[in-house]
Structure 1
């Protein structure tokens, strides 16, 4: 016997399929055969839930019934002249003559409640996936360094396994000189960077930057992504910059100061608790980007000078009076300048003097022992 061509309601005619039957095949058995052919698309549906309609849709010509085939909302009884097939009837009793060639003979309907539940379940799954992706993005969200708060810092600290502690002394002797304080006006900090009375000129003067052949003072406010990270080590993506950085002089001309940061300065007219989280985040970001170990300075350019650096899987913090603070910065600049001169003489890559964060942390694996 010639096969009957079937189509699931709402599917395009190109998805029609043939089903064979014998003289004793019942509509129920025929329905089960359809189910087995389409089971991949009928998940969570029992075959008795399928409803079969007898139709006679001509695919040889363009006609209203053929045009309505792909419409999932078509009324099978009224628009397609369909008749519901009773499961107990033999298929042969319905088709007493040979089925017409190139016609759709049986239309299969998945009950709205069942089809709806499957579709709805798929939609819910997609929504859940989108939510998971959104949560993942949120978890790895971008945080501007200037907005780092305790919560953001706590996530960074926990991820890296870093502790931090204050220290009160240094094991080096500093040659101090009297240093005048910077005079802030009522303008914002960054509005006071330029000119003879700006903080850039002030820092160049007190640090005697011109005496260091290999170092330059970088106006980091012009490098808006100087400290932006995309590193898998951190649970958030940090974005932004700092105020001023001491970098290798040649890196300024090459427009890649972020790779050669030695010292960074975050300037505040008045320092508050939240600023400490910002400066520690800046230290982490700078350490990840620079080929050198970084010294971070948080200061009001008056009597509050705070230093932060990485040492033995900890962030060390030290507060010094202005004269000693400037002497410490110049001491570090002197060491860096000597290193650059030695590098130039020996023409080899400098070895970091302090421990680098990347030596402590393996992405996604946490802290490892460092034998260096």
Structure 2
């Protein structure tokens, strides 16, 4: 059983396609409007607004706990896994007092490495991690970050299970004609990014690099799929660089259309980089999704992305801080057809080795082992 929200944490609007997703899922999904407060948080609010935010937060937590308690009371569920350390980790602390429940937390990386003004010394996060029977890290980078944070404190068992990709869903296929028309991409070489639009994803440096690439190769286009707080900055940047007519911001797309959007690309690019506050990419599942549909990828070397992308096998790994390095990688994959095809083939093999069904089996086995002590 999975618990999930109905609303988007960024704008409180209904999530696109969640009903269709749930109907096609092979497991039960329980939804309520929100499982935590919106991402924006109380920063910048006046005292009255902060009070309303806190009341809203308490209401969400109470309703969520009541829902969880009723599920546990009425069912034979003995294992609970939390996927968000900071906003949802309190559930593990509360459930320490619920008999017979094994507590598991999935850690992605950035929630450990990013500085948090509400938890400057990491004590809150250490307490949550200590309440877990098992911590699952999605990359070696993440596992090392957890170990570093827990140094000197009671440390739960830490297990590495890298993210997996659905290789039955993400497959190579011809480009959908209607999408080619929608985005006017027929006959063009397309660089594509699919991600939440955040500074750490490196789309800003990708735009700067693309401005150089497009001068030499006017037959290129850049398709950006996703939304986020950095979207307006990126749109303004594209305009100031003079490449706005050649960059397409597709926004969010439904789950049903996601794979077909990947297939519009020739090269996937997300040269992620670590930010000064420690925020970075914990793994980068999008690299494997792109690989699975037959695309070579360009990744940054910071964080856990190197667990997904092996340089010169399924993609090119570059210094995400260097626009010159990103431009060079984009240039190579535009000019060298043999390299592009070789990396695409390596990507398909990489994706097969990281199939989510294998990862699911590892996850379930780990949970069962943890529940039996």
Question: By the TM > 0.5 criterion, same fold?
Answer: no
Q: Which has the higher helix share?
A: 2
What TM-score, normalized to structure 2? 0.31
Structure with greater strand percent: 1
